Amino acid sequence: MKRLTSLPALDGFYMPGEFEPHRGCIMIWPKRPGSWPFGAREARKAFAEIAESIADSEHVIMLAEKDVMESARQMLSDRIEVVEMASDDAWARDVGPTFVVNKDRHVRGIDWQFNAWGGHTDGLYADWEKDDLVAGAFLERFGYPAYDARHFVLEGGSIHSDGEGTLLVTERCLLSDGRNPSLTRLEIEEQLKNYLGAEKIIWLPYGIYQDETNEHVDNVCAFVRPGEVVLAWTDDNNDPQYEMSLADLKLLEQETDAKGRHFIIHKLPIPKVPVCIKEEELSGFVFEPGEDQREAGERLAASYVNFYISNGGVIVPQFGDEHDQKAVKILGECFPDRRIYPVYARDIIVGGGNIHCITQQIPEGEVHEKGNSGSGPDEVLRRHQ
């Protein structure tokens, strides 16, 4: 793997929009007993359904630890490439690399520092060593040149790009004490601009209520195309989310993107009934020392914004709530050329995240190098075709 110490923006690289063409998608097979109750039995069914939905239009690479490789192979079709790789949990969005492209559609990866969403300040587990190595290991295995950004803590779920110079983030997450406390807001902006090629950062005040990632942006607001976003919303002014989403809405209405466009904003309802951990689910967890523990009745950060855009579809979380179909309808109107895949996702949200959190897109494009082992990305694509 070629490890790059230059800055992507100076090299002409930037983060494309998720709605742009993909070469494939990274996922990680779940096993952590503190995230996935009852041996990840139900979670694996949901992961498999999501992987197969994505595989209808793009290649899926499922990373799995050695002891669960056979489980993954048994539950997934031959369309899914299962690759042995160590990790602490299954949040591919946050531990995987962020990919950047240039105008010639050459693709490189960024290896950020990962510290379990807050390190020793407010991180969610005590040991994240394997997760912190996933991005670099993936880039090496599949032959992508890697930008070294390990001086900077960032998760993929905390950023959303329109591919045209605009980046969405939340203040609550990127300014949290457990990530880059020695950096000012302007210095954090400088890092985002240098590594993601962003020209303008939109700082939303809040994410989703009770989001234990310090309110990742991918749970509250997402681009559907340049100049157009969906925003998690509730009309219930007794819900704590109401004031949070209202503050985000007011900011978006006042802002313009990097091209000077005002945003088209689609309000996407959150579930009408809060999604909470049940006593019977709680009995299936096995928590490690120092790991954040769930409690019966705890409200989870359920949001329909946490969808994944594949080449041919949009995979949308469902919660058995009366707003499920409304969310599907709104997203169907936002993505008229893509198939909507509704997936029951309660068995993912109990782990603390959702569909977007367990996926990481690899943009379409050329790669400068081949890896020293395993399949190069071009070989993977040929097999998929």
Q: Cα(32)–Cα(288) distance, rounded to whole angstroms?
A: 10
Strands, sheet with 146-153, edge to edge from the N-terminal-most edge strand: 3-4, 146-153, 107-113, 98-101
Q: Which residues of 179-202 are buried (b: 16+ CB within 10 A; e: fewer)?
A: bbeebeeeebbebbbbbbbbebbb
- Half-sphere exposure at residue 195, Cβ-oriented, CA atoms within 13 angstroms: 26
What tokens does 324 get?
């499920």
Counting residues of the chain whose pLDDT is more than 90, the rounded percentage is 92
Q: Is 203 helix (H, G, I), strand (E, B) or coil?
A: strand
Which candidate in 25, 173, 221, 357 is catalytic? 357
Q: Please, which pLDDT band fits residue 290 given cuts at 50, 70 and 90? A: confident
Angle at 128 between CA 133 and CA 373, to 5 degrees: 20
pLDDT of residue 382: 42
Question: What average pLDDT does the segment 329-355 reach?
Answer: 97
- pLDDT over threshold 80, residue 380: no
Asked if 361 contacts 22 with a C-beta cutoff of 8 angstroms, the reply is yes
Question: What average pLDDT does the segment 262-274 reach?
Answer: 98
Judge whether 173 counts as a catalytic residue.
no
- pLDDT over threshold 50, residue 376: no
What tokens does 285 get?
């967890």
Counting residues of the chain whose pLDDT is more than 70, the rounded percentage is 95
Question: What average pLDDT does the segment 329-347 reach?
Answer: 98
pLDDT of residue 153: 98
pLDDT of residue 384: 39
Q: What is the mean pLDDT of the chain?
A: 95
Angle at 276 between CA 273 and CA 281, to 5 degrees: 135
Question: What average pLDDT does the segment 303-320 reach?
Answer: 98
82-119 residue pLDDT tens: 999 999 999 999 999 999 999 999 999 999 999 999 99
Asked if 200 contacts 192 with a C-beta cutoff of 8 angstroms, the reply is no
135-191 residue pLDDT tens: 999 999 999 999 999 999 999 999 999 999 999 999 999 999 999 999 999 999 999
63-72 residue pLDDT tens: 999 999 999 9
234-259 residue pLDDT tens: 999 999 999 999 999 999 999 999 99
pLDDT of residue 383: 41
- pLDDT over threshold 90, residue 14: yes
Other residues' Cβ atoms within 10 Å of the Cβ of residue 295: 9
Sequence ranges of the domains in the chain? 3-384
pLDDT of residue 371: 41
pTM: 0.94
Q: Please, which pLDDT band fits residue 1 given cuts at 50, 70 and 90? A: low
What letter represents residue 112's amino acid? W
Q: Please, which pLDDT band fits residue 385 given cuts at 50, 70 and 90? A: very low
Q: Is 361 helix (H, G, I), strand (E, B) or coil?
A: strand
Q: Which residues of 222-257 are buried (b: 16+ CB within 10 A; e: fewer)?
A: bbbebbbbbbbbbeeeeeebbebbeebbebbeeeeb
Label each residue of 70-84 as H, E or C: HHHHHHCCCCEEEEE
pLDDT of residue 288: 87
Fold assignment, 3-384: L-arginine/glycine Amidinotransferase; Chain A (3.75.10)
Asked if 309 contacts 18 with a C-beta cutoff of 8 angstroms, the reply is yes
Which residues 6+ apart lie within 8 Å of 122 measured at CB?
176, 177, 178, 214
pLDDT of residue 6: 96
- For 145-244, where are the E strands, in sequence order? 146-153, 160-161, 166-170, 200-204, 221-225, 228-233
Q: Please, which pLDDT band fits residue 213 given cuts at 50, 70 and 90? A: very high
